[in-house]
Amino acid sequence: MIRLSVRLTASSGKQALIRLAITTAAVALGVGMLLVTLAEINAINAQDARTAWLSTGMPGDVASSQSPVGSKSPAARPAWWLFSTDYFGHLIIDRVDVAATGPGAPVPRGLPHLPGPGQFYVSPALARLLRSSPPAELGHRFPGHLAGTIGSSALPAPDSLIIVVGYRPGQLSRAPGAVEVTSIATTPRGNGLPGYDPTTLLSILAVAALALLFPVLIFIGTATRLGAARQEQRLAAMRLVGATARQTSVVAAIESCITAVGGVVIGFGLFIVLHPVLQDASFTGVRLARGDFSLDLADILLIVAGIPAAAAAAAHLGMRRVRISPLGVARRTMPSAPRAYRMFPLLAGIGELGYFAIAGHPRSSSGQIEAYFLGFFLVMAGLVIAGPWLTVTGSRIMAGRTSRPAALIAGRRLADNPWAAFRAIGGLIVALFVTSVSAGITTTIIADRGSSANGVAGSGTLADQFITGESVSGKALTAVAAVPAAVLTGLTSIPGIRGVTVIHTNPDAVTSPGQNENDMPGLVSCAQLALTPAAGRCARGAAVASITLDLSGAATSGSQSTTEWHGAAMSLQRLQRLPVLMVIVGTDGASAVIERARTALEADFPYLGPPAVLTTSYSLSAYAALQRMTDVVIVASLVIAGCSLAVSVAAGLADRQRPFSLLRLAGAPLGLLRRVVALESAVPLVVVAAISAGTGFLASALFLRSELGESLRPPGGAYYIIVLAGLLGSFAVIGCTFPLLKWITGPEIARNG
């Protein structure tokens, strides 16, 4: 039977070969995109795994909710460990301060041993940066001399900037935030490289894989259905010589498998050809290491075996209601109308995502990916399953509110066979859902990550915060009792420094236990604040003002903030004696001046973390790359959906030749038939498209609330342009069939049918 099916597929005429070529191309496009997605997932996992050692000693340092992270054999002697993140321009530098307490202290892989006091190890990229940068801008931040470079096994990416600085145990043990560790973490904590969250990216990529898989399967099923409509005479002849209905389904399944296998081969070829280019296109915003962007054996087997198997299953389902009598008369059993229970998978998917939005996402990375993958799978499958019921519901509403012949005929035809009507637009509906989800998630992430830090405009303004976190007793620690006059003089002596503002503690402020550091109230001298306008201004006549460390307030513009801080009943003399919470340094915006000021602050106040430029955001590169990827996914899914719609329209015309010919013989004008065709496609398209878009925004809102604790932001104009273009393109495809109606509905069709 298989050999016969292959021969029939190869000798079915020019139209069949064109259909096979189109289907193979669509499958190849989908397979290529799936391979890219799987390879990128592997790359992110590989990069994330090489960051594990940087999470040593951090809270929540677990590989899962059950087992701890780290080597299971503790070291002979512990080591003091302090991790921090530094910045040089828009570059991120991971810094680890260590101090071995004796022989056998834990050593991260990539290092021959822990650096001693006055030594440091750096990544090759940071070594090059140190050599090319003036010491006053970068090198003076790190005490000691270069002892060696960090091996590639400890570098997330070839361009990673990492430094490990050695200290004496007695020196580092007094540093705020330093912890004593006995082992090195071997499993990433789930937020990998600074500036992006691998769990979030992997969850979105898993949904992207679904977004590519669904349209491909729908297209394969649609193309198979077109084959069934075109091959009725051939299948009838097979039945006359003894073929069963099951054997006719096997013929269609073999044809689908041939296109699927061809698409898989071409898809792998596209992946191999584009691999050198894609190797440098990382979602994490950094260059991939050699071998990161690759496929493992499980990925290859999944695509090689899964796509043809899915194609065969789709073909079998597409043929399940086609019955060819031995006399060559096509009989399709008309099933009962779809019921409302088809909404259950869709509601279950929304409910699953809603549960995690309320209860919080799973604690482990794998648990989060599985939860979101299942939720979005249920929603996407639910849209496809509920589509016929939504179609027949819309048709009944249309037929019940009109008396026009075209609307009545279209409504009746939709009610009789809503599966065929929805089959034509199923791929487009999934693509629209993908577009809405992608637009909702990426717009929100980039909008929130891209907003200026601390909510103020301060190009060239540095803020060095001295709140080190929560102590064991749960009270915030103040690390600096005062800023020496020599430090202030040294800062103001740097060319390009325009002013220095010191924020002191407010002894009269009431704070709640566990209050966020950025909400900490403070006091500031209005004379100093006037020199750093990006932090706001005092109320008229005030000498001392109340201020918060997040510097939040009214809108900002340029380097000036319109925030007005209220005056406080505090003398300048008493203010100078209060402990210090933050130092704000205003510069002329030149990068060299900013880095000299940052280096001076870090040298004067070590272990307290780096000063931050108020308007700098370091978390956009990964999500900007992600947005580019989602744009590609959207375009690919729309292209596949458009091909599916074109094939479905062709199949619909073939199915409707005889009834339309009879209508024309009965006196129906050609314009009436065109309106019927338009309504049969437009009604389910508009109804289900609106529901699909709304469901996409709801699912993305639940994902954002669960994973990131953020609220959905409305998408930009590009989303509406894409949706409008997709709908107009669909109507254009439908309109292209109108001229064909005249040729396929002649009296000879009714006579010969």
Range ranked top by mean pLDDT from 23-27, 81-85, 717-721: 81-85
- Quick check: 634 pLDDT over 90? no
H, E, C per residue of 344-362: HHHHHHHHHHHHHHHHCCC
668 Cβ contact list (under 8 Å, min separation 6): 405
CA-to-CA distance for 458 and 623, rounded, in angstroms? 23
Q: What distance in Å separates the CA atoms of residue 421 and residue 390, rounded to the nearest whole number?
A: 11
Question: Which one, of 739, 731, 610, lies nearest residue 92 by Cα?
Answer: 610
Percentage, residues of the chain above pLDDT 90: 13
Instruction: Look over the chain and give the mean of its residue pLDDT values, rounded to a whole number.
Output: 75
The region of weakest confidence among 261-265, 423-427, 580-584 is 423-427
For residue 64, which amino acid is it? S
C-beta separation of 644 from 427 below 8 A: yes
The single-letter code of the amino acid at 406 is: A
At residue 268, the pLDDT reads 93
293: left (phi over 0), alpha (psi -120 to 50) or beta: beta
- Which residues, listed in sequence order, are joined to residue 587 by a DSSP beta bridge? 497
Which of 27-31, 355-359, 627-631 is predicted least confidently? 627-631
Question: What is the Cα–Cα distance from 118 to 84, expressed in whole angstroms?
Answer: 18
Give the chain's radius of gyration (CA, Å). 33
* Banded model confidence at residue 266, pLDDT cuts 50, 70, 90: very high
Task: Place 651 in a pLDDT band, splitting at 50, 70 and 90.
Answer: low
Q: Can you give the residue ranges of every domain in the chain? A: 1-51+195-332, 52-181, 454-613
Residue 554 pLDDT > 50? no
The DSSP result for 693-731, as a single string, is: HHHHHHHHHHHHHHHT--PPPPP-HHHHHHHHHHHHHHH
In this predicted structure, what is the pLDDT of residue 631?
65
Q: Are strands 161-166 and 91-100 parallel, antiparallel or unpaired?
A: parallel
**pLDDT: is 232 or 266 the higher one?**
266
What is the model's pLDDT at position 227? 52
Distances (CA, A) of 246 to 4, 252, 317: 14, 10, 12
The answer to which of 119-133, 335-349, 632-646 has the lowest mean pLDDT is: 632-646
Lowest mean pLDDT among 152-156, 280-284, 336-340: 280-284
Instruction: Convert 538-563 to b/e letters by CB count within 10 Å (16 or more is b).
Output: beeebebbbbbbbbebeebeebebeb
Which among 55-59, 116-120, 535-539, 685-689 has the top mean pLDDT?
116-120
Say what the pLDDT of residue 468 is: 39
* Token pair for 735: 């309109």
Of 18 and 119, the structure prediction assigns the larger pLDDT to: 119
Residue 484: pLDDT band by 50, 70, 90 thresholds? confident
**pLDDT in the model for residue 606:** 81
Regarding predicted confidence, which is higher, 225 or 397? 397
- Residue 417, pLDDT score: 74
pLDDT digits (tens, 9 = 90+) for 669-678: 878 878 887 7
Q: How confident is the model at residue 133 (pLDDT cuts 50, 70, 90)?
A: very high
| Cross-strand bridge partners of residue 86 | 93
Q: Would you say 126 and 93 are in contact if contact means Cβ atoms under 8 Å apart? A: yes
pLDDT tens digits, one per residue of 195-211: 445 666 666 666 666 66
DSSP H or E stretch at residue 396 = helix 365-400
One-letter amino acid of 664 = R
Nearest to 158 by CA among 50, 86, 67: 50
Q: Which of 448-452, 573-577, 641-645, 669-673 has the highest mean pLDDT?
A: 573-577
Which comes out higher in pLDDT, residue 255 or 581?
581
Grade residue 250 by pLDDT with cuts at 50, 70 and 90: confident
List b or e across 153-173, with b for residues whose CB sees 16 or more CB atoms inside 10 angstroms: ebbbbebbbbbbbbbebeebe
pLDDT tier for residue 682 given thresholds of 50, 70 and 90:
confident
User: Using 50, 70 and 90 to split pLDDT, how confident is the model at 117?
Assistant: very high
How far, in Å, are 199, 237, 423 from residue 366 at the CA level? 8, 53, 34
Please check the confidence at residue 344 and state whether its pLDDT lies above 90: yes
Q: Which whole number is the average pLDDT over 414-431?
A: 77
Give per-residue pLDDT as tens, 25-77: 777 877 887 788 788 878 877 887 888 888 887 755 433 333 333 344 444 68
Q: Is the pLDDT of residue 132 over 90?
A: yes
pLDDT at 226 over 60: no
Residue 332 has pLDDT above 80, yes or no: no
Residue 667 sits at φ, ψ, to 5 deg, of 110, 5
Q: Which residue in the block uniquely carries the two structure tokens 């990673």?
A: 160
The owner of tokens 């409008």 is: 724
pLDDT at 715 over 50: yes
